[in-house]
Amino acid sequence: MNAAVESFIRDGFLRIDDAFPQSLADEVRAIIWRDTGCTEDPATWKAPVIRLGEYTQEPFVKAVNTPKLHQAFDSLVGKGRWAPRSSLGSFPIRFPHEEAPQDDGWHVDASFPGPNPNNYFSWRINVQSKGRALLMLFLFSDVSEKDAPTRLRVGSHQDVARILEPFGEDGLAFMKLAHRLDATDHCPEALATGPAGTVYLCHPLLVHAAQAHHGRVPRIMAQPPLFPKDPVNIQRPHAECSPVELAIKQALGHS
């Protein structure tokens, strides 16, 4: 097991530099800017965040399907166990703004529907991360510490696995898990910074949060899931487990 995989199991994320070319980032930004309805004039930035949906145009598909990323998916999820993406989204575009964002709480992304599929807050997360193999953060603009980088609680995926284990296959709804995440307050914080073309591959149980933008240039980032082709399964023999599965097993004390 190499050092990068070991750090992913321990910390819950892996930074991939130059995951896709700057030229693709430029093409994506041009499309996103058009769809925000804003210009580079700050007077047009009417809200702290604008959310945009799925994109299937060629630059987006190419960005998520580079050889470097496919190799990383194989390393973390397992060869043949993840589904190639044919789109990229969602995009929370964050602007420097006098209003505070209303979506900056610590959370884990839910991955399968609850009783009301149209209400995301009722969606659920379980210990085996049903429906999600990775959380991915694609930086399409340069992101410094002032540019609203996503906050990551280092190692928090281990605490979350222990929180979820008693709830079995049903897991917990998004908000019910969020209300238990003070158990991860002890975790150090990392910031998802880097130049355009950087991708953070995060364990699906990693606790993370948005924050206000204190810089000058809007942050353009996508945060799509990587979907499993073969469901995450911590019951596999140890030697057959992916790093995503090993991280959960280690957190639960399973050999």
CATH of the domain at 98: 2.60.120.620
Strand partners, 138: 199, 222
- Going by C-alpha positions, the residue among 16, 5, 7 that lies closest to residue 136 is 16
pLDDT tens-digit series, residues 162-194: 999 999 999 999 999 999 999 999 999 999 999
- Going by C-alpha positions, the residue among 211, 166, 164, 169 that lies closest to residue 183 is 164
- Going by C-alpha positions, the residue among 59, 109, 60 that lies closest to residue 88 is 60
Residue 101 pLDDT > 90: no
**Contact indicator for 133, 77 with CB cutoff of 8 Å:** yes
- Average pLDDT for the chain: 95
Number of domains the chain is built from: 1
Residue 1 pLDDT > 70: no
**Contact indicator for 76, 14 with CB cutoff of 8 Å:** yes
Residue 82 pLDDT > 80: yes
CA 148 vs CA 37, 61, 113, 141, 222: distances in Å: 20, 25, 29, 11, 13
Residue 115 is predicted with a pLDDT of: 83
Token digits of residue 240: 């057959």
- Residue 161's contacts (CB-CB under 8 Å, 6 or more residues apart) are 127, 205, 247, 248, 251, 252
The residue segments making up the domain with residue 175 are 3-252
* Cα 69 to Cα 168: distance, rounded to the nearest angstrom: 31
pLDDT tens-digit series, residues 9-27: 999 999 999 999 999 999 9
Residue 161 is predicted with a pLDDT of: 98
